[in-house]
């Protein structure tokens, strides 16, 4: 195995892209290409972290086990460099679940929710 790129189902592709751009992610690819119709899928990347987003509508009746509602019973754990600067840059633009804190395993972390109610935890080993 070489990488993991979650494909997250969302209701509003444009709002999702806007949200993740505030976190420093940039669109890499969309379907259809930009300006050629309503978006049904997008790939965004920041450093080595990649997210794919797909509209619920594009699922149709395929993949019945995928829940058709916002959020999920999962947490995206993202390692970053310069966590304190990153937190200061985004804290007033997002919903913060908990601010910077040192964990029992030595990482400095903070958690937010995205516009689709998914939880993102950003972490850095500052030692």
Asked, as a colleague might, if the bond just before 32 is cis with ω within 30 of 0, I would say yes
So what's the pLDDT on residue 59?
83
**Residue with more model confidence, 112 or 65:** 112
Q: How far is it, in rounded angstroms, from Cα 75 to Cα 88?
A: 21
Task: Please tell me the predicted confidence (pLDDT) of residue 68.
Answer: 81
At 72, the pLDDT band (50, 70, 90 cuts) reads confident
| Confidence grade of residue 78 (pLDDT, cut at 50, 70, 90) | very high
The answer to whether 9 and 59 have CB atoms below 8 angstroms apart is: yes
Q: Which domains are assigned to the chain?
A: 1-61 (3.10.180.10), 71-127 (3.10.180.10)
Report pTM: 0.86
Q: Phi, psi (5° rounding) for residue 63?
A: 50, 60
Round the average pLDDT of the chain to a whole number and report it. Answer: 91
Query: Could you read off the pLDDT of 34-45 as tens digits, one per residue?
Result: 777 789 999 999
Torsion, CA 36, CA 38, CA 41, CA 46, rounded to 10:
80
Instruction: Report d(CA 102, CA 83) in Å as an integer.
Output: 12
pLDDT in tens, 1-32: 677 899 999 999 999 999 999 999 999 999 98
Environment class of 26 (CB within 10 Å of its CB; exposed 0-12, middle 13-18, buried 19+): exposed
Distance CA 85, CA 69 (A): 33
Give, in order, the Cα–Cα distances in Å from 58 to each of 6, 31, 53, 114, 122.
16, 11, 11, 21, 29
Determine how β-strand 95-102 pairs with β-strand 75-79: unpaired
């Amino acid at each position: 195995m070489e990488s993991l790129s979650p494909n997250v189902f969302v209701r509003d592709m444009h709002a999702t892209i806007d949200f993740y751009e505030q976190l420093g992610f940039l669109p890499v690819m969309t379907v259809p290409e930009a300006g050629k119709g309503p978006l049904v899928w997008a790939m965004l990347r920041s450093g080595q972290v990649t997210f794919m987003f797909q509209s619920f509508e594009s699922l149709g009746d395929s993949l019945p086990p995928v829940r058709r509602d916002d959020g999920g019973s999962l947490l995206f754990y993202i390692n970053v460099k310069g966590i304190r600067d990153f937190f200061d840059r985004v804290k007033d633009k997002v919903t913060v679940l908990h601010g910077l804190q040192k964990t029992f395993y030595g990482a400095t972390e903070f958690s937010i929710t995205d516009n689709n109610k998914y939880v993102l935890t950003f972490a850095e080993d500052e030692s």
